[in-house]
Amino acid sequence: MTKATRGETDFTEGTGNVFRDLGLDSPEEELSKARLALQIHDRVQALGLNVTKAALRLGIPQPKASRLLRGYADGFSTEKLLTFLTKLGQDVRIVVSDARGGSAQGRFVFTMLRKAEGRKRPARRPAVVGGRRT
């Protein structure tokens, strides 16, 4: 994060990962879980499910489903969130490849494919965790 001044107002520019900015442990994992929770929320809305029906479909108690659908992904592993997406009729693809540019450490890249209205091919909405947006 960098500090800057604009006029008389001081502000700190974020890194693009609010979890890193807050100093949380495992900020990349937290961001990926938040994005998965958002995808789950969007899918539940698209299916027209209420919280009770979503909980039944996901196989979790209603209070946990309610919390998840309000964006709280703590208490769920990334694997469990991916499983929820499959229970909601989503395909999940995991691709492992070498890091770009010979980097010693790879990145977690989360890409959601969305069908655009009136288009035959799905629109891509990439999101990168632990690196720059692609």
Q: Which domains does the chain have, with CATH numbers?
A: 16-129 (1.10.260.40)
For the segment 70-79, the average pLDDT, to the nearest whole number, is: 92
Q: Are 124 and 22 in contact (CB under 8 A)?
A: no
- Please give the sequence-ordered ranges of beta strands (E in DSSP) within 9-103, or none if there are none: 9-13
β-bridge partners, 115: 122
For the segment 1-13, the average pLDDT, to the nearest whole number, is: 70
In the predicted structure, residue 3 carries a pLDDT above the cut 70: no
Element at 39 (helix H, strand E): helix 27-47
Q: Which of 66 and 31 is assigned the larger pLDDT?
A: 66
Count of helices and strands (H, E) across the chain: 5, 4
Report how far apart, in Å, the C-alpha atoms of 83 and of each of 73, 87, 104 are: 13, 6, 30
